Amino acid sequence: MLKTILYIAIGGAIGSVLRYLTNVLVSKFWMNAFPLATFIVNIIGCFLIGLFVGYLEKNQFTNDSLKWFLITGFCGGFTTFSAFSIENQFLFQNNNTLLAFAYIGLSVFLGILAVWFGLSIAK
């Protein structure tokens, strides 16, 4: 149990740091109401979770430590659905309703498409 928690924690820490660095990088080039950094992270994260799950299933990995590290830890730390939700709330509060719905629609559609793409590549 402690070993599993350690794998999740290490993966989560790496994912969280990469999410932060993505935000720093994107904010240097993008100053707009649309939360591009979170959008990018969520789409990449959806792709990666599809890729990881597909690869592990294809190769019949029985090593649960790798699953905990990559999927629960890294992808859980990297993706930002809670940030996505609060950002949409702020967009609605600031009367950016159309932008909020565009952000929601694109995130969900492209996220599902990215998971499918990741699974397809892995298989």
Question: Is the pLDDT score of 31 beyond 90?
Answer: no
pLDDT digits (tens, 9 = 90+) for 33-57: 899 999 999 999 999 999 999 999 8
The annotation places the binding site for Na(+) at 76, 79
- Segments making up each domain of the chain, as ranges: 2-122
pLDDT digits (tens, 9 = 90+) for 62-95: 789 999 999 999 999 999 788 899 899 999 999 9
**What three-state secondary structure class fits 103?**
helix
Q: What pTM does this model have?
A: 0.81
Cα–Cα distance list, 100 to 26, 33, 88, 94 (Å): 19, 10, 5, 10
The annotation places the binding site at 76, 79
Question: Is the pLDDT score of 123 beyond 90?
Answer: no
Question: Is the pLDDT score of 5 beyond 90?
Answer: yes
